[in-house]
């Protein structure tokens, strides 16, 4: 056995096989190890669809993140940018290291590589590779592609679809696609939604104290800054706060300019009019997640409230948020991002969750109403 990472070992290096011999070759791996040293176990199936551009290093990081959570069968479809030359297959077995056990509890990893056209032609092989009577997750590592044969086939085979809207090529169009699938009863999780948790938690905490709770209903202005390249985080956060405060979107104006500014008007409780601004900020050193939130400002025309707050990413500071004047009246909060925002780590957490995320669905529904204005 050769060591892959500090948390996962492989029983053998990935082995090339014919598609028809996948099951037989996996059985050979287990036959060569007794139950005392490596036990075959599977708690769910994970389908993965990813473009070749993700790279082998990224795929190995995914192996580590997935295998270290719990044993499962992974079927990884790698779409190559080449002419249709059929499908090639590899099989492997990976085992998380558990200090409390002398034996290894291992899962299986099947890699199918081929041109997109080849997958469209031979998608019927997938049901045969899934372990029956176990849940099926689908991690789609591109923009969603509803109404395409391969995507629809894989969604229909799955109990839950996992996407990462940080990788969407057309932020607003792709969010509308996700909403359409939710409306069709597809259960969906978005890894990028998880990255908003620190911003949501700190925003909620700002109004936790009993003497400040009423102030949240006085908010009539919100500004959201986000890194250039992807607006999904900004739109989902705006959808979240608007859905919690019962704001109804009325109008949307795209101003453009250097910051690609857009203004949205809402109506809240007691006919209160709320003005929102989204600004796409160019940054010199973008992080690993495109479109991360940078800053957030909440304001109230009623100066007798504690509604005015500024929230800033620790890495970027609050200069633009405090530049509009009146900074001395704001409570300023520093937002610490998740310790690890990588899709692989967030996927591992998502594989432990079952059922619908109602808060995500309600927030996305409102975000897509804003987009549709």
pLDDT at residue 49, rounded to an integer: 92
Per-residue pLDDT band for 286 (boundaries 50, 70, 90) equals low
Q: Whole domain around residue 301: which residue ranges?
A: 197-335
pLDDT tens digits, one per residue of 238-278: 999 999 999 999 999 999 889 999 999 999 999 999 999 99
Is 233 found in the same domain as 131? no
Is 222 found in the same domain as 143? no
For the residues 227-245, what does the mean pLDDT come to? 97
Contacts from 264-272 at CB under 8 Å and sequence distance 24+? Answer: 264/238, 264/370, 264/373, 266/242, 268/217, 268/220, 269/217, 269/245, 272/217, 272/220
CA distances to 53, 80, 126, 281, 291 from 285, rounded to whole Å, are 22, 30, 41, 12, 12
Does residue 358 belong to any structural domain of this protein?
no
pLDDT at residue 270, rounded to an integer: 93
Is 72 found in the same domain as 125? yes
Cβ neighbours of residue 240 under 8 Å, at least 6 residues apart? 196, 200, 359, 363, 366
Say how many domains are in the chain.
Answer: 2
Q: Say whether pLDDT at 323 is over 80.
A: no
Q: 97-108 burial, b if ≥16 CB within 10 A, otherwise e?
A: eeeeeeebbbbb
Residue 268 belongs to domain with CATH number: 3.30.360
Is 133 found in the same domain as 50? yes
pLDDT at residue 41, rounded to an integer: 65
Note the residue count of the chain. 373
Does residue 177 belong to any structural domain of this protein?
no
Is 208 found in the same domain as 65? no
Q: Say whether pLDDT at 170 is over 70.
A: yes
Does residue 181 belong to any structural domain of this protein?
no
The overall longest dimension of the chain from CA atoms, in Å, is 74
Is 252 found in the same domain as 114? no
Q: Say whether pLDDT at 325 is over 60.
A: no
Is 248 found in the same domain as 148? no
Contacts from 181-184 at CB under 8 Å and sequence distance 24+? Answer: 181/144, 181/146, 181/155, 182/361, 182/364, 182/365
pLDDT at residue 85, rounded to an integer: 81
pLDDT at residue 256, rounded to an integer: 86
For the residues 111-120, what does the mean pLDDT come to? 85
pTM for this prediction: 0.90
Is 149 found in the same domain as 77? yes
Is 204 found in the same domain as 118? no
CB 292 within 8 A of CB 337: yes
Per-residue pLDDT band for 69 (boundaries 50, 70, 90) equals low
């Amino acid at each position: 056995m050769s060591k892959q990472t500090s948390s996962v070992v492989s029983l053998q290096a990935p082995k090339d096989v014919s598609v028809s011999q996948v099951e037989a070759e996996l059985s050979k791996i287990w036959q060569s190890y007794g139950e005392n040293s490596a036990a075959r176990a599977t708690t769910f199936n994970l389908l993965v669809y990813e473009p070749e551009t993700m790279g082998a290093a990224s795929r190995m990081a995914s192996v580590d993140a997935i295998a270290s959570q719990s044993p499962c069968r992974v079927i990884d479809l790698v779409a190559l940018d080449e002419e249709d030359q059929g499908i090639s297959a590899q099989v492997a077995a990976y085992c998380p290291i558990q200090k409390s056990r002398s034996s290894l509890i291992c899962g299986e990893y099947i890699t199918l590589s081929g041109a997109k056209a080849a997958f469209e032609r031979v998608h019927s092989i997938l049901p045969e590779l899934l372990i029956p009577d176990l849940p099926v997750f689908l991690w789609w590592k591109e923009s969603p592609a509803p109404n395409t044969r391969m995507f629809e086939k894989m969604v229909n085979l799955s109990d839950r679809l996992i996407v990462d809207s940080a990788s969407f090529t057309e932020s607003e169009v792709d969010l509308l696609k996700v909403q359409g699938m939710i409306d069709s009863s597809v259960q969906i999780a978005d890894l990028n939604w998880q990255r908003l948790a620190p911003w949501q938690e700190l925003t909620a905490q700002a109004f936790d104290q009993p003497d400040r709770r009423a102030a949240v209903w006085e908010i009539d202005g919100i500004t959201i800054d986000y890194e250039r390249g992807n607006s999904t985080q900004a739109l989902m956060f705006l959808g979240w706060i608007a859905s919690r405060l019962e704001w109804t979107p009325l109008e949307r104006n795209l101003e453009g300019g250097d910051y690609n500014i857009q203004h949205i008007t809402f109506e809240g409780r007691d006919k209160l009019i709320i003005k929102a601004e989204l600004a796409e900020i160019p940054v010199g050193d973008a992080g690993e997640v495109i479109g991360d939130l940078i800053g957030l400002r909440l304001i109230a025309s009623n100066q007798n409230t504690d509604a005015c707050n500024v929230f800033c990413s620790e890495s970027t500071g609050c200069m633009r948020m405090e530049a509009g004047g009146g900074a001395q009246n704001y409570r300023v909060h520093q937002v610490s991002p998740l310790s690890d925002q990588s899709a692989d780590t967030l996927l591992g957490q998502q594989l432990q969750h079952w059922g619908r995320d109602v808060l995500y669905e309600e927030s996305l529904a409102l975000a897509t109403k804003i987009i549709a204005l």
